[in-house]
Structure 1
């Protein structure tokens, strides 16, 4: 997905992208390479240009919680405090534009930049609220269906939808075991709701059924 295409999905993105293109540095990250770590000073903001990024947090007992997934056009690293609450790693080979928060704040008098930052912050809040609903109120099958629906809606015109994350990433995001995720995917495919082309691509065969489960 190109940055231009991502901007079409997120109207606020072009203003941020323009500033970050002028002021930022393009950095490439290999699959699973760390972008920033939890409790690190949040002095940089990142814009995904290509690839995908996941945020994770390690709990005191060693368990891992995946916080969110980010795709081209998404801002990563926006924090309300001084430190990153989550780490971020590249899900696949990825390119990001990086700019210092202070440099971005220097444009705070620009109304378009202000609106773009506010829109990105609002999306982060919505993302967290949706994740909370999925974790707390949905069955295992509904969780997996909601996850696939979100990916499908992002790329609804594609014949086959990319699944950049592995089963363990999905499990750690949805609060399930990897065995449960695999079982739910098998059930959805068996019911002809989705069809998998290998492990990392799928097609939605029955949109109405997937939507009902995701609601």
Structure 2
């Protein structure tokens, strides 16, 4: 029996359910206050700028307002492993305990809303609804991390890339054309592949008429069913 692949809902989807957790992504003020009582400050970062470093105190929880953010770790041999990409509406920095276990950088020029963790934590101690929302977001991040580990550990290069493209299609609102904000090196470091393997696999999927590549950042999904089967 064929089973359709299931992709964990991203934080952009969860924000519709928990939209009062942080200030809305289109909030115009330089600082904003969410209904839970925590005041956030907008911060802007240029492309490739560091937002926080591995081992630094986890003072803030962040929400992406504009642009894209990546979290990553540098392995002992110097290789980079990207843990996650965060798109507008996504929350990051939530899962850290005391210090950040990974670094965060801006993939593109971006703007984030930074809210002091202590404000949210204090509110959660007093309010069950806030505590429930924090738990839901934390479990969401855990589920996505588990899915990512499964992909890295058990799937082929083609299956990994198909999973990534279907995940991006779920997160970037476009019918069949994805404008990827990250480079192929970023994709390779996220999927545990070399950039040569990513490029070769992209070309193979194009030759098989599963996708089309109008440019290095644009991907047209020509055969969603095949991609979903590969990603399953």
Q: TM-score, normalised by structure 2?
A: 0.85
The aligned length equals 210
Q: Is the 8 A contact 2:176 2:222 kept in 1?
A: no
Paired position in structure 1 for 2:72: 56
In structure 1, list runs of 5 or more residues that go unmatched.
1-5
Give RMSD over aligned pairs. 1.8
Aligned residue number for residue 116 of structure 2 = 100
Q: Which residue of 2 aligns with 1:16?
A: 21
Partner of 1:89: 105
Deviation at 1:17, TM superposition (A): 1.7
| Aligned partners of 1:43 and 1:101 also within 8 Å | yes
Q: Deviations over 1:38-82 (max 9, x none)?
A: 011111110111111100101122111111111111111113421
**Pairing 1:213–2:230 present:** yes
Offset of residue 156 of structure 1: 5.1
Aligned residue for 2:84? 68
Secondary structure (helix, strand or coil) at the match of 1:15 reads coil
CA distance in 2, matches of 1:98, 1:191: 44
Structure number having the greater helix percentage: 1
Residues 103-156 of structure 1 deviation map (CA, whole Å, 9 limit, x = unaligned): 111211233322221121011101111111100000010001100010012235
Go from structure 1 to structure 2 and tell me whether the alpha carbon gap of 1:40 and 1:12 turns closer, same or farther (over 3 Å shift). farther
Residues 7, 112 of structure 1: alpha-carbon distance in 2 compared, 3 angstrom cutoff: farther
Which residue, out of 47, 52, 58, partners 1:42?
58
What TM-score, normalized to structure 1?
0.91
Distance 1:166 1:18 in 2: 29
2-structure distance, mates of 1:26, 1:196: 35
Q: Gaps spanning 5+ residues in structure 2: where?
A: 1-10, 25-30, 34-38
| 1:15–1:113 contact (8 Å) kept in structure 2 | no
1:150 corresponds to which residue? 167
- 1:128 alignment counterpart: 145
